[in-house]
Amino acid sequence: MSRRWVVLALLLLLGLSGTGAPQTLPAASAGAAAGKLTIVQGPEPLSMDPTMDINKTSYNIQLGLYDPLIFATPDGRLRPWIATSWTNVNPTTWRIKIRKGVTFHNGEPLNAESVAFSIEQYNRSRGEGNKYFQFIKGTKAVDAETLEITTDGPIPATPTMLGFLFVLPKNYYTQVGPERFGVEPVGSGPVKMQGWQRGVRLVVVRNEKYWRGVLPIEEITYRPAPEASTRVAMLLTGEADIIANIPPEQIPRIEAGRMRVIRQPSLRKLFVEFNMKQRPLDDVRVRRALNHAIDKEELINLVLGGNAIREIGPVPDGWLGANPKNQLTAYDYNPARARQLLAEAGVGGGFQMDLWHSIGRYLKDKEIAEAIAAQLGNVGVRVNLQGMDIGSLVQRIHTQNLSGAHLFSWAPLIFDTDNLWRAHFYSKGLNQYAVSAKTDELLLAGAAALDRRERQRIYSELERHVVNDMVPWIFLYRQSLIYGVSNKVGWLPRADEVINVRNLIVK
């Protein structure tokens, strides 16, 4: 990358992570043709309504269409955005000041009433976003620039959690309804929807009236391509400028084509999640056995080419509540121990189990599922592989009763441990396969604790309980992100997989 593009990329990043008010974006050069990009992430979004579809590949597009209430940076810092300030006026009430002069793409003003409506719409939605703001029990637009929200008990992480809230236009959303809004969205972000041809392309163009300044890019096309070979071919032929999830064996082909390969350690943890309500997976001895049956190092080294790091617990290192590794059971590869535990559970002769998995969403997800099936077969578990696109898989997972087990993942949309616990270990959360009275008790106590050391203690106890006692997952690894990038693009990937249009530049 030339020095000019490095400087511009750093300026864009500083515009999002600096202190104080957000900086304006660098404008497109006068008289120069603005750039166009094509991004191929893999799967196609289900909806552009952020209350309905929160998959990261969808979120990456939505982040350009909408503005978040508060901007949360990858290091966990919070920056004023649509909200210029937020004050905890009493343990359960927050007063939020809303930026003046912002309008949606259709000219509708963005104000405190818009934000109140957005919170309420997330909470009444039938989609994936429904679980994220249920802790907010009341909203009140005091005036056009002032919003008060009431939470269900003291929740000090409230501002961080509001970093996931996209602000929606009340009048337009109410007029068209969720289904039409999902394909004809209106936001206040730096790009606006031009059109969506299902299965082919989704196109956004820059918002010439964006309140932070016009993007130095004219148009972005998002194209679906679940097969990795297709994505690589698109990059090499110039049909794509950024592609995600490159298989390690394809890297030399891309580099030979004079394209850049960028590796980025990610925060995404992959695991196999059990339906603990079904026999024999309701027996913790069986769940421990299946953990011992999987050779995680073989998956990492032989299938992923070393592009992952083994993990033994759900909480990212350095996050609140993460335990020292010696306090968590590692479940090392031990097929003899696995067979012994299966025999003790009364299924020594083996059993049959569905394993659901995505195709094209995660790095070599289909191949990982096949390898897991083979390893489980070595201890007598007959696996029925059920592969599909990530959208269909997520819909099945959210029935809360998907048979057998599923290969799934977690990566933060909200940079607080509370997000992890509520998403996967809460009886009112997004995924309810790994819940109990104790997980509810501990996660709610941790969320309400005002003292950071007390939150650390509670969340640490919760992680130990989940890993050592419940064993709801086969804990696998944290994958690396491998992108292929055209030389005309200036862009720095993030560990949370966010591709923010505000950080993209093009020659």
Residue 94 token pair: 């927050």
> Is the same domain home to 177 and 48?
yes
Residue 110 has pLDDT above 60, yes or no: yes
Lowest mean pLDDT among 91-100, 364-373, 444-453: 444-453
Angstrom distance (rounded) from CA 147 to CA 110: 12
Give the total number of structural domains in the chain: 2
Residue 281 has pLDDT above 70, yes or no: yes
> Is the same domain home to 442 and 472?
yes
Amino acid identity, residue 158? Answer: T
> Is the same domain home to 285 and 390?
yes
- Domain of 470 in residue numbering reads as 266-481
Q: What was the pLDDT predicted at 34? A: 56
> Is the same domain home to 501 and 453?
no
Is residue 278 classed as helix, strand or coil in its secondary structure? coil
> Is the same domain home to 474 and 502?
no
Residues 6+ apart with CB under 8 A from 48: 58, 61, 62, 65, 181, 182, 183, 185, 193, 196, 202
> Is the same domain home to 354 and 381?
yes
Residue 33 has pLDDT above 80, yes or no: no
> Is the same domain home to 7 and 116?
yes
**Is there a domain that residue 224 lies in?**
no
Residue 441 has pLDDT above 80, yes or no: yes
> Is the same domain home to 501 and 440?
no
> Is the same domain home to 291 and 423?
yes
Reported as type and span, the H/E element at residue 424 is: helix 417-424
Q: Cα separations (Å) of 128 from 131, 151, 177, 386, 473?
A: 7, 20, 17, 22, 21
> Is the same domain home to 475 and 490?
no
**Is there a domain that residue 31 lies in?**
no
- For 307-363, the pLDDT digits (tens) are 999 999 999 888 889 999 889 999 999 999 999 999 999 999 999 999 999 998 899
Is residue 232 classed as helix, strand or coil in its secondary structure? helix
- Band (494; pLDDT cuts 50, 70, 90): confident
Residue 25 has pLDDT above 60, yes or no: no
> Is the same domain home to 425 and 496?
no
Reported as type and span, the H/E element at residue 253 is: helix 251-256
> Is the same domain home to 396 and 291?
yes
Q: What is the DSSP string of 286-335?
A: HHHHHHHH--HHHIIIIISTT-EEE-SSSSPTTSTTPPPGGGS------H
**Is there a domain that residue 427 lies in?**
yes
Lowest mean pLDDT among 88-92, 149-153, 226-230, 281-285: 226-230
Residue 197 token pair: 């041809």
Higher-confidence residue: 186 or 259?
186
